[in-house]
Amino acid sequence: MDIIADLHIHSRYSRATGKDLNLQNLERYALIKGVDLLGTGDFTHPKWIDEIKENLTEDDTGILRSKNGYPFVLQSELSLIYSQEGKGRRVHLVLLAPNLGVVRQITDYLLTKGRIDYDGRPIFGIPCPEFTESIKKISNDIEIIPAHVWTPWFGLFGSNGGFDSVEEAFKDQAKHIFALETGLSSDPPMNWRLSKLDRFSLVSTSDLHSYWPWRIGREATIFDMDLTYDNIIKALRTKEGLGGTIEVDPNYGKYHFTGHRNCNVCLDPKRSRDLKDICPVCGKKMTVGVLERVDELADRPEGYRPKNSKPFKSLIPLSEILSKLLGKAVATNAVWKEYNNLISHFKSEFNIMLNVPEEEIAKASNTKIAEMIIRNREGRVEIHPGYDGEYGIPIFSDEDRKTIKKSDVRVMQKQTSIGDF
């Protein structure tokens, strides 16, 4: 059976999260979104692991369940910051663990290296090879997944301090890396351009810092299997049972294009390379975006698709669509009213976005909303690319175009990859 999983989340003990980010709200909004399985997030944090133990129960399949039976997998994220070959490295890793006993051993190991109580995503100065070797000595059932691998600041391949390959980062321990989290600013076709990534499972997650439906499950991984921890690990390591991913259009991600937000400069790879990544307004170095970094490392042309590649679907969150069409902020009463109306008719957001016929949506709501949901489903929503920490902007009408800052438009006039600017 298909299981939509979001296996990289955070608790309220991580930085930049709200006090109401608890297991009960995560479960509630996962069901509304249509997410069938969640990571627990932050299992290294002492207060959060106590809440996990209090609210979730382990079973013999490696899955933890709430009092209502909702499933979770033990998951956390770490930040490794260190120097290698004279260059500063910053790599975020997602960990999956088979049981609470193994989590205790991971925590005991980390306590020999530093503190774990100040953030749900703690920082350690441990090189990737050393960390991986130590973790695998605890249990081979622990899965290590490099997180948002293309993000400029903390991704494995990021333009600021990243590596050019998994092998460069993990050395002889690369044999233990089977999956890569692609992040919001890249999608499978971008990763397919690198032949050296063919052996890896490409997974997507939300990396949420909020349980709201425009965050939870905004990216997700689909498994086709019976739900057990062992089956999840098998799917990640062999691709058997890995059904594909749900993505946002990579233009929506905060680092898709190269740019400099202080100057409202947003550039496609060709133009940014022509400028040697120097901002044409202020003369400072820009943040090199994911698309440019992929171009730099790719050995295949755009449009290449490897054999046996997994399917994917690109979707903008429903709340974002309603916000645009209603002309209201995403968290306003007007947007919530229409969102809840649709959920009351069709059970979950993913069901609405992926399955419900247009005429049924129109009957429950209106033709304009129904049309835009279908355009979204079919990948026909244009997005002004995100850059330098700014999310991309969905463009549903000519009026939307006017909201884009004039300096953005001026810089992008000569590029043709996103439409008729």
In angstroms, the Cα distances linking 415 to 255, 283, 382, 408 are 17, 21, 15, 12
Chain centroid, CA 251 distance in Å: 13
Query: Is residue 409 helix, strand or coil?
Result: helix
Backbone angles phi, psi at 323, to 5 degrees: -60, -45
Per-residue pLDDT of 108-166, as tens digits, reads 999 999 999 999 999 999 999 999 999 999 999 999 999 999 999 999 999 997 899 99
> Which parts of the chain register pLDDT below 50?
407, 409-410, 413-421
In angstroms, the Cα distances linking 380 to 51, 310, 321, 341, 377 are 42, 21, 13, 24, 8
Query: Is residue 326 helix, strand or coil?
Result: helix
Is the C-alpha dihedral spanning 360, 366, 367, 372 positive or negative? negative
Asked if residues 7 and 39 have their Cβ atoms less than 8 Å apart, the reply is: yes
First and final CA of the chain: distance in angstroms? 43
Asked if residues 122 and 78 have their Cβ atoms less than 8 Å apart, the reply is: yes
Q: What is the pLDDT of residue 415?
A: 41
Q: What is the pLDDT of residue 413?
A: 42
Lookup: tokens for 384? 């002004």
CA 89 – CA 11 distance, rounded (Å): 25
Per-residue pLDDT of 268-318, as tens digits, reads 999 999 999 999 999 999 999 999 999 999 999 999 999 999 999 999 999
Torsion, Cα of 34, 339, 183, 199 (10° steps): 30
Q: What is the pLDDT of residue 109?
A: 98
CA 286 – CA 288 distance, rounded (Å): 6
DSSP 8-state symbol, 164: S
Asked if residues 38 and 8 have their Cβ atoms less than 8 Å apart, the reply is: no
Please provide the CATH number assigned to the domain covering 2-247: 3.20.20.140
> Full-prediction pTM beyond 0.85?
yes
Per DSSP, the residues of 280-304 read TTT-SBPB--HHHHHHHH--S-TT-
The domain ranges of the chain are 2-247, 252-310+381-412, 317-377
CA 18 – CA 29 distance, rounded (Å): 15
